[in-house]
Amino acid sequence: MSRSKIVVFTGAGVSAESGLRTFRDMGGLWREYALEEVASPEGWRRRPDVVLSFYNERRRAVLDAKPNAAHLAIAALEAKFDVQIVTQNVDDLHERAGSTQILHVHGEILKARSTVNPRLVYPLSKPTIDLGDHCELGSQLRPHIVWFGESVQHLDVAAALFAAADKVLVIGTSLSVYPAAGLVHHAGDHAEKVLVAPEVDTLPPGYRFRCGTAVSVVPELVAEWFAKT
């Protein structure tokens, strides 16, 4: 019998208990930084040095962080389920927790890319990207991050994965940035749909709300799913 398909859709909240900042909560990044300045092509054109230092600081925090119990529980699901992670996060905590099928729709902070050819992507050999770091074509390297106004990656594949899922688990996202947030509506009527967060403004239709933090809820939910197999 084929294994049940689970899509896990994560946002910054799943990494909050690993010490990484969210964007719109108290203490969130967009309460301290103007996103137009540090996460947009215009900001890059105006002050690439400011953009590079914003991501260099976030990258150092990622390198210091560790996967938390929610990341580990999600990875453990692969023992019994066909699991596909679709994440808005740019950290590598799902990878380090042991998950193997991960789509990053907003990019990856541990990679750099050419400013002239977005298909030229490079794993970083040092913790920072600095002015003067060039790609093989001789152009300045930039963070491999999808900035506001740029097209999201893997959206069609992600939508198809949601539509085929038997279970959809949404963790730690305010669902405020489209088109990624719209993915939750691609889940089928038949699928079990759960959203985990300490609070929620509007629950997507058909989703059950499990109130709490990722670390307090996800391991328990995963145990429930294992018990039913």
Catalytic residue set:
106
Rounded least distance, CB 152 to ligand APR, Å: 9
Tokens 């600095």 locate to 130
How far apart, in Å, are the Cα atoms of 17 and each of 14, 21, 54, 89? 7, 9, 21, 14
Kindly tell me which residue out of 18, 22, 114, 140 binds ligand APR, with binding defined by CB under 6 A: 22
Residue type for 50, please?
A: V
Position of tokens 């060039």?
Answer: 134
> Rounded to the nearest whole angstrom, what is the least distance from the CB of residue 94 to ligand APR in the complex?
13
Q: Which range, of 8-16, 49-57, 119-127, 129-137, touches ligand APR by CB under 6 A?
A: 8-16
Size of the site for ligand APR (CB under 6 A): 22
Strands (E), the chain: 5-10, 82-87, 102-104, 107-114, 121-123, 141-145, 167-171, 192-197, 208-211
142 is a contact residue toward ligand APR (CB under 6 A): no
Which listed residue (91, 129, 213, 221) binds ligand APR by CB under 6 A? Answer: 213
CB nearer to ligand APR: give 135 or 215. Answer: 215
> Rounded distance, CA 52 to CA 2, Å?
45
Please report how close the Cβ of residue 167 comes to ligand APR at its closest, in angstroms: 18
Rounded-to-integer distance, Cα 17 and Cα 184, Å? 23
Would you say 4 or 87 has its CB closer to ligand APR?
87
Cα 119 to Cα 163: distance, rounded to the nearest angstrom: 28
- Is residue 229 within 8 A of residue 220, CB to CB? The reply is no
**Interface pick for ligand APR out of 197, 204, 207, 222 (rule CB under 6 A):** 197
- Residues at the contact surface with ligand APR, assessed by CB under 6 A: 11-13, 16-17, 22-25, 28, 88, 106, 172-174, 176-177, 197-199, 213-214
